[in-house]
Amino acid sequence: MNTIHTQPFRYGEDHLTISGAQAIARGAVKGVLSEKGRQQIRKSAALVAQIVASEQVVYGINTGFGPLCTTSINREDAARLQENILKSHAVGIGDPIPQALSILMLVLKVHALAKGFSGIREETVDRIIWHIEAGVIPVVPSQGSVGASGDLAPLSHLFLPLIGLGKVFYQQEIRPADEVLKLLQQEPLQLGAKEGLALINGTQFIAAHAVTGVARFHQLLMQADLNAVLMLEGLSASGKPFYPQLHALRPFKGNQFVAATIHNLLAGSGIVQAHAHCSRVQDPYSLRCIPQVHGASRTAWLHLKELVETEINAVTDNPLLIDETLTISGGNFHGQPLAMALDYACLAVAEIGNIADRRVYLSLEGDTPGVPKLLMRSTGLNSGFMILQYTTAALASENKSLCFPASADSIPTSLGQEDHVSMGSISGRKLLQVIGNVEKIQAIELLCAAQALDFHAPLKPTRIVEQLHLQVRSVIPHLETDQVFTPWLEQAQALVQSGTLIALAREVSKEHQLPYIPELGELFDTY
């Protein structure tokens, strides 16, 4: 069970960060409705009540939805209308998204509703918070959103349990929502006017994927730089391409951050010093151009991070109740602002995998003095590490097929009312797929880099790199004969996905007062 270790986050009042949203979702921070948030919610709910009482025609309150927006709904049927929209729009299909993403969707939705422009009732928001805190997490299918009128299908599934329908994750099982509500002595809610529409309009499916993508992308970038340094040492590459004087002449911040990180990690290396005056003029691009390639991907990460933080503090449903005199039916639910950035990020992540695959290939060539071809001394009888690069090539190729921008496509829906859609939900799902593939490529690169580095003994790398190498060797042995690689691949993947090596590099850096994260760390190391 997570321990609450900080001040509660006030929905609708405090500024939500990406790491903050994740902390609430995993239970490390408690999310609460402050009195200010409650006042904002009551005020917007009162506006809806006024509209219903006055019989003023407002989309979604007393009209049908989408192409039925000109169909009037009488006051007696207003509540039934809101229940019907949840039922009719819950048409998602495919495997459920992970629980963690469903919880993030709930957190992001509460924060948006608590801004006080959606017309939802206080008791409905309280029930959503109850779902988060009680661990009764709605099951949301992964497919079905076009990312236009918000994530209609996923959000409908997310909120079916409010009315006693759908399924939920509860105590590590998937169970009918009504069964769990009875078990916990909770009655299904009766939705009021506007509430169903407020719940299912919005970009929380896209945004939850984006929040997760920003965090995993960041870890992947940090791991990429550490892998690169291990490979630079293992392949006796030059340290000059990382000098600050070079990057001052082309001052992209992402490039400068990567160059400074690697320059810091190589400073004082016995291996680098041993080949400082060798005859090699320059290294292949996958070694020499690491700052330019990793740096461009860092810039893409920074762009995505900034957009996601804007989105998770925005109000993205429709219509929005601005004040007593102004209700606007607009397009804040359209997913394009994140869809395009997610597609760009997908390409940026794939490129980290592409250049890592090239470094894996280089490590097998046998062109580095002392490092044998295929990373084993006795080949012929042994195939060495050769086939590992087949896997990185397969993963890199798969990523290329996933890099087609989903946001470049648009298929009209809702009988032409929604005649341009973002497909941002697909962009978000693809990003997480590509991240997962690149993490696997990084695991293989880590294996190859550690093996290459072994052959430089008794020369030593820098202290941080030495400790990273020792950590790898504590779970993965040096290999000199062919064997089933699966256990070592799994260990390497666990090191990459857990962030163990990143945490170790920070710890050694701090303990020995060694430079690791450069001056631009505040820009590229927080979210």
Contact 198, 44 (CB under 8 A): no
pLDDT digits (tens, 9 = 90+) for 304-321: 999 999 999 999 999 999
Same fold, 9-202 and 210-316+328-410+418-524: no
pLDDT digits (tens, 9 = 90+) for 318-352: 999 999 889 898 999 999 999 999 999 999 999 99
Give the range with max mean pLDDT: 60-64, 119-123, 191-195: 119-123
State in words which class domain 210-316+328-410+418-524 has. mainly alpha
Domain boundaries, the chain: 9-202, 210-316+328-410+418-524
50-54, 205-209, 285-289: segment of lowest average pLDDT: 50-54
Residue 171's Cβ-count burial label (10 Å; 0-12, 13-18, 19+) is exposed
Burial 430-448 (b: 16+ CB within 10 A, else e): bbbebbbbbbbbbbbbbbb
| CATH classification for the domain delimited by 9-202, as one of 1.10.275.10, 1.10.599.10, 1.10.1060.10, 3.40.640.10 | 1.10.275.10
pLDDT (average), residues 131-152? 95
pLDDT band at 384 (very low <50, low <70, confident <90, very high): very high
Phi, psi of 91 (to 5 degrees): -120, 25
Alpha-carbon Rg of the chain, whole angstroms? 26
**Residues above pLDDT 70, as percent of the chain:** 94
pLDDT band at 279 (very low <50, low <70, confident <90, very high): low
pLDDT band at 6 (very low <50, low <70, confident <90, very high): confident
pLDDT (average), residues 129-158? 96
Residue 1 pLDDT > 80, yes or no?
no
Rounded distance between C-alpha atoms, residue 321 and residue 231, angstroms: 56
Residue 5 pLDDT > 80, yes or no?
no
Phi, psi of 365 (to 5 degrees): -70, -25
Rounded distance between C-alpha atoms, residue 219 and residue 339, angstroms: 21
Burial 465-498 (b: 16+ CB within 10 A, else e): bbbbbebbeeebeebeebeebeebbebbbebbbe
Q: Is residue 59 among the annotated active site residues? A: yes
pLDDT band at 2 (very low <50, low <70, confident <90, very high): very low
94-98, 179-183, 268-272, 310-314: segment of lowest average pLDDT: 268-272
Residue 72 pLDDT > 70, yes or no?
no
pLDDT (average), residues 45-65? 77
Amino acid, res. 257: F
**Alpha carbon distances (Å) from 76 to 73, 80, 212, 324:** 8, 8, 42, 23
pLDDT digits (tens, 9 = 90+) for 83-120: 999 999 999 999 999 999 999 999 999 999 999 999 99
Residue 418 pLDDT > 90, yes or no?
no
Q: What is the DSSP letter of 96?
A: E
For residue 278, what pLDDT is reported?
67
**Residues above pLDDT 90, as percent of the chain:** 86
Which 3-state string (H, E, C) describes 257-304?
A: HHHHHHHHHHCCCHHHHHCCCCCCCCCCHHHHCHHHHHHHHHHHHHHH
DSSP β-bridge partners for residue 173: 170
Mean pLDDT computed over every residue of the chain: 93
Among residues 59, 170, 344, 516, which one is catalytic? 59
Amino acid, res. 362: L
| Backbone torsion region of residue 504, taken as left when φ is above 0, otherwise alpha when ψ lies between -120 and 50, otherwise beta | alpha
Residue 66 pLDDT > 80, yes or no?
no
pLDDT digits (tens, 9 = 90+) for 350-376: 999 999 999 999 999 999 999 999 999
- Which has the higher per-residue pLDDT, 107 or 419? 107
